[in-house]
Chains A and B, each alone.
Chain A
Amino acid sequence: MGWAIAVHGGAGDISRSLPHERRQPREEALRHCLQIGIKALQSNLSPLDVVELVVRELENIPHFNAGRGSVLTSKGTVEMEASIMDGNTMRCGAVSGLTTVLNAVSLARLVMEKTPHIYLAFDGAEQFAREQGVEIVDSSHFITPENVERLKLAKEANRVQIDYNAQPIQNDTKKEAPCANGDSQIGTVGCVAVDCHGNLASATSTGGLVNKMAGRIGDTPVIGAGTYANELCAVSATGKGESIIRGTVARDVAALMEFKGLSLKEAADCVVHERTPKGTVGLIAVSAAGEVAMPFNTTGMFRGCATEDGHLEVAIWSDAEI
């Protein structure tokens, strides 16, 4: 046993030729957030507190697609969403369509703790945020020049993209816009944690898909899709939201453990490599026993993990090439 924590900053087609100046700040950020989570676990904070804390930190980092740095809708606006789940009690909270709330994950937790509901969205969620006095800012705070550029590219290519889209723009010239190859590498954020008593929690937060239709909801706020936690494991998924919803990814990892007796690693691998289309998903998961799994079927996934026995890792691509 022992505590364990895993974080992610998104899975997708992260080119292995990602320039250093794109790679380093994100690895730094993951390391930084991981440390915050580790210290919190060492101070005996509950996993629910830990995942909220870490995801807040990730939301505040503009390099990741959540909170500040969220990708833009087809209207050039932000619509942020998040969810959180406590494995002990199976209580959960979720929010969608936020435009001014600084930390979506914290509002999700307030929905869970301060209302008889689980999921609030759009105007109703924004109103609730004001009632609760959570920190709100002008929408422009969340919008970064990189994301304005990403949206422009996506519109030119006429497609909705996962925020990773390193494929060259689909026109005849082999010309690659700098962004398409170098600067598209951002994604949903998430954190899962287990303490030394086996208590589990999970949280996920995102701005969604570049150029998404206004009002589009992805997997991140959908319990059982992007986030899930029970007494066996805690899971946070990332990738193509639509595929994750169809595949009820987070719930399926736990269900395979529960109904088929698979180990965490087997269950996570099965869901990612055998049950979801290639190039669409990654996830992080921890078990009550303190194990960690971080499979992905995309080119890469920004991730990090640590366990009480001293193991610590931050990575982007597969183990063979850190």
Chain B
Amino acid sequence: MGWAIALHGGAGDIPLSLPLESRQPREEALRRCLQIGVEALKAKKPSLDVVELVVRELENIPQFNAGKGSVLTNKGTVEMEASIMDGSTKNCGAVSGLKTVVNAVSLARLVMEKTPHVYLAFDGAEEFAKEQGIETADSSHFITAENVERLKQANEAHRVQLDYTQPLQNGSKEERPNANGDVQLGTVGCVSVDSYGNLAAATSTGGLVNKRVGRIGDSPIIGAGTYASELCAVSCTGKGEAILCATVARDVAAMMEFKGVPLEEAASYVIHECMPKGTAGLVAVSAAGEVAMPYNTTGMFRACATEDGYSEVAIWSAS
């Protein structure tokens, strides 16, 4: 037993040749966010507080696709979404279509705690944010030069992309600097189990580069991108559409609950046997303090730590 925490900064086609200047700040950031989470758990904070805290931190980091640094819609705007779930009570909150809210995950928590609802979106969500006095910023706060460039590329390539882009699919083998070096960012998420055995999960994102205005992915969908029960907590990343149809987060917990399989096996099965290759990754913890971080993409920015002293920050697989 004991506490455990895992977090991610997105799964995708992260090339092994990722330059140091793209790799290092992200690893640093993951390490820092992990520390924040670990300290909170050591200070006996409940899981729900821990995951919100860590995801807020990840949202504020422009290198990841959430909050500041969110990828852009086909109109060059941001539409951010997030969800949070408390495994002990199954209470949950979700938001979509945010344009000015600095921390989507915190608004999701407010939906859960201050309204009779679970999910608010677009204008209604922004209005609620104003009523709650939560921190907002002008849209320009969230938009980074890298994302403007990503959108431009996606438009040129005429496609909607996971924020990790493979080299442009045209005849020439020419790889733009960005296509290979700087597209490595993604959805963020955190799961934890505290010293009392309470589990929680939270996920936040800007979505897909060049997505249609109004497009909702898996991150705010309970059971798809986020889920927590008394057995485990799960946060997913990857191709939102694939994760949605496959109700990934719920399936991990359902296999544990209905089939009695342990965390590692359930998580691995859902990712490796149920999901098309290159579409998904997840982080999960169990009530018993175990951690699983499977992915079927080239890599996944991730980090985890357990009370017995184990900790890891990684992008690709160990082997």
Taking a contact as CB atoms under 8 Å apart, the answer to whether B254 and A251 are in contact is: yes
Q: How many residues on chain A are close to B (CB under 8 Å)?
A: 45
Nearest CB of chain A from residue B73's CB, rounded to whole Å:
8
Q: How far is the CA of A259 from the CA of B252 in the complex (A)?
A: 11
Chain-A contact segment, one of B163-171, B238-246, B279-287:
B238-246
Q: How far is the CA of A33 from the CA of B73 in the complex (A)?
A: 40
Taking a contact as CB atoms under 8 Å apart, the answer to whether B121 and A122 are in contact is: yes
Q: Is B36 an interface residue (CB 8 A)?
A: no
Nearest CB of chain B from residue A87's CB, rounded to whole Å:
11
Q: How far is the CA of A118 from the CA of B208 in the complex (A)?
A: 12
Q: Is B42 an interface residue (CB 8 A)?
A: no
Nearest CB of chain A from residue B89's CB, rounded to whole Å:
9
Chain A residues contacting B277 (CB-CB under 8 Å) are none
Across the interface, A246 reaches (CB within 8 A) one of B90, B96, B97, B123, namely B90
| Residue of B117, B127, B246, B254 with most chain A CB atoms under a 10 A cut-off | B117
- Which residue of B has the minimal Cβ distance to A255? B254
- Which residue of A has the minimal Cβ distance to B160? A116
Chain-B contact segment, one of A142-150, A180-188, A209-217:
A209-217
Given contacts A97-B121, A122-B121, contact A251 B214 (CB under 8 A): no
Q: Is A197 an interface residue (CB 8 A)?
A: no
Across the interface, B214 reaches (CB within 8 A) one of A125, A216, A218, A241, namely A125
Taking a contact as CB atoms under 8 Å apart, the answer to whether A215 and B224 are in contact is: no
Nearest CB of chain B from residue A316's CB, rounded to whole Å:
27
Q: Is B133 an interface residue (CB 8 A)?
A: no
Nearest CB of chain B from residue A108's CB, rounded to whole Å:
12
Interface residues on B, range: 35 or more
Given contacts A215-B124, A246-B90, contact A260 B213 (CB under 8 A): no
Given contacts A242-B116, A246-B91, A251-B247, contact A260 B258 (CB under 8 A): yes
Taking a contact as CB atoms under 8 Å apart, the answer to whether B255 and A259 are in contact is: yes
Taking a contact as CB atoms under 8 Å apart, the answer to whether B121 and A121 are in contact is: yes
- Which residue of B has the minimal Cβ distance to A115? B212
Across the interface, A124 reaches (CB within 8 A) one of B91, B120, B213, namely B213
Taking a contact as CB atoms under 8 Å apart, the answer to whether A214 and B212 are in contact is: no
Taking a contact as CB atoms under 8 Å apart, the answer to whether B222 and A216 are in contact is: no
Q: Is A295 an interface residue (CB 8 A)?
A: no
Taking a contact as CB atoms under 8 Å apart, the answer to whether A215 and B212 are in contact is: no
Taking a contact as CB atoms under 8 Å apart, the answer to whether A160 and B121 are in contact is: no
Taking a contact as CB atoms under 8 Å apart, the answer to whether B247 and A216 are in contact is: no
Chain B residues contacting A160 (CB-CB under 8 Å) are 116-117
Taking a contact as CB atoms under 8 Å apart, the answer to whether B222 and A121 are in contact is: no
Across the interface, B223 reaches (CB within 8 A) one of A91, A120, A213, A248, namely A248
Which DSSP category, helix, strand, loop or mixed, fits chain A's interface?
mixed
Chain B residues contacting A251 (CB-CB under 8 Å) are 223, 247, 250-251, 254
Q: Is A245 an interface residue (CB 8 A)?
A: yes
Taking a contact as CB atoms under 8 Å apart, the answer to whether B245 and A241 are in contact is: no
Q: Is B92 an interface residue (CB 8 A)?
A: yes
Q: How far is the CA of A119 from the CA of B224 in the complex (A)?
A: 13
Q: How far is the CA of A224 from the CA of B218 in the complex (A)?
A: 12
Chain A residues contacting B128 (CB-CB under 8 Å) are 213, 215
Q: Is B211 an interface residue (CB 8 A)?
A: yes
Taking a contact as CB atoms under 8 Å apart, the answer to whether A119 and B127 are in contact is: no
Q: Is A117 an interface residue (CB 8 A)?
A: yes
The residues in A between 220 and 257 inclusive whose CB is less than 8 angstroms from any CB of B are 222-225, 228, 241-242, 245-248, 251-252, 255-256
Given contacts A121-B121, A215-B121, A242-B117, contact A224 B247 (CB under 8 A): yes
Q: Is A140 an interface residue (CB 8 A)?
A: no
Given contacts A117-B241, A259-B258, contact A215 B222 (CB under 8 A): no
Q: Is B193 an interface residue (CB 8 A)?
A: no
Taking a contact as CB atoms under 8 Å apart, the answer to whether A117 and B120 are in contact is: no
Taking a contact as CB atoms under 8 Å apart, the answer to whether B222 and A222 are in contact is: yes
Q: Is A92 an interface residue (CB 8 A)?
A: yes
Taking a contact as CB atoms under 8 Å apart, the answer to whether B213 and A215 are in contact is: no
Nearest CB of chain A from residue B243's CB, rounded to whole Å:
10
Q: Is B176 an interface residue (CB 8 A)?
A: no
Q: Is B259 an interface residue (CB 8 A)?
A: yes
Taking a contact as CB atoms under 8 Å apart, the answer to whether A121 and B97 are in contact is: yes
Taking a contact as CB atoms under 8 Å apart, the answer to whether A92 and B121 are in contact is: no
Nearest CB of chain A from residue B194's CB, rounded to whole Å:
21
| Residue of A90, A118, A121, A228 with most chain B CB atoms under a 10 A cut-off | A118
- Which residue of A has the minimal Cβ distance to B266? A259
Q: How far is the CA of A244 from the CA of B241 in the complex (A)?
A: 21
Q: Is A317 an interface residue (CB 8 A)?
A: no
Closest 5 CB pairs of A and B: A215-B124, A124-B214, A259-B258, A214-B124, A124-B213
Apart from the given pairs A215-B125, A224-B247, 7 other A-B contacts in the complex at a CB distance below 8 Å: A96-B121, A223-B224, A224-B223, A242-B118, A248-B250, A255-B251, A259-B255
18 interchain pairs (CB within 8 A)? A92-B244, A117-B215, A119-B215, A119-B216, A121-B97, A122-B97, A122-B214, A123-B214, A215-B122, A215-B123, A224-B250, A225-B222, A241-B118, A246-B222, A248-B250, A251-B251, A259-B258, A260-B258
